[in-house]
Amino acid sequence: MAQSTANTQDLVPIEEIRNDTVILRGGKILKVLMVDGVNFSLKSEEEQNIITYAYQNFLNGLDFPIQIVVHSRKINIEKYLDELGVRQKEEPTPLLQNQIGEYREFVRSFVKDNAVMEKSFFVVVPFSGSVISKSAATGVLGNIFPFFGSRKSTKDAATTQKEEEFTEHVSQLDQRVNQVVAGLESVGLEVMPLTTQSLVELFYNFYNPETVEKKGAQMNTQ
């Protein structure tokens, strides 16, 4: 008996991304914040204490869970090497041509033996609500009124109710996001909520790391 194999999409918990919001299967929604890092070890002892206390107060002030994600990705430097090659050819001075060529080969050999990694920091803010799924909404109400010729209007009403609930839940999620942003900024960190396009690129990068490394793609946060 042939065994059915799972579709790749079945392994991805994301149902939809819209309104700068990630919608997971089951109705849970979340927003993602990109956060700039800070070199803690270069701070003075007084500055380290201030950051530590501010971060502690930020965490103690939360009454909902958050997820902190550190994403490491290998940087593709082929484009940078190509730019150096063009600069080397355009340079009229032979001495500078040789210096650019030597530097280009140094970078190439160094990266060959030592992968250059880029770290990105994200904070995921979730919200769980009783969002009615499309199938559940139309199915339940459709069973209540199956013989009254109102299937279309019932379906439209269910869709409207689902959108109203989604809007309400996003509004409550935004309140959480604002609290997290204010807390992180009090620590001295820069925070950027990701837009719909940025979220699509982010999750594409997560699920296609080899393709991203070959292309040297970067995420647009605007």
The answer on pLDDT for 135 being more than 50 is no
Residues 34 and 81 in one domain: no
pLDDT digits (tens, 9 = 90+) for 173-184: 999 999 999 999
Residues 14 and 55 in one domain: yes
Domain membership of residue 220 (yes or no) is no
Are 180 and 31 in contact by the 8 Å Cβ rule? The answer is no
Please give the tally of structural domains in the chain: 2
pLDDT digits (tens, 9 = 90+) for 163-219: 888 889 999 999 999 999 999 999 989 999 999 999 998 888 887 766 655 454 454
Domain membership of residue 88 (yes or no) is yes
Residues 161 and 176 in one domain: yes
Question: Tokens standing for 109?
Answer: 């050999």
Residues 207 and 122 in one domain: yes
Domain membership of residue 87 (yes or no) is yes
Residues 62 and 165 in one domain: yes
- Rounded Cα distance between 85 and 95, Å, is 15
- Rounded Cα distance between 214 and 134, Å, is 38
Q: Of 58, 34, 32, 20, which Cα lies nearest the Cα of 179?
A: 58
Domain membership of residue 47 (yes or no) is yes
- Name the band, by pLDDT with cuts 50, 70 and 90, for residue 142: very low
Residues 172 and 149 in one domain: yes
Residues 19 and 105 in one domain: no
Domain housing 21? 10-73+118-215
Would the pTM of this model clear 0.75, i.e. be above it? no
Domain membership of residue 101 (yes or no) is yes
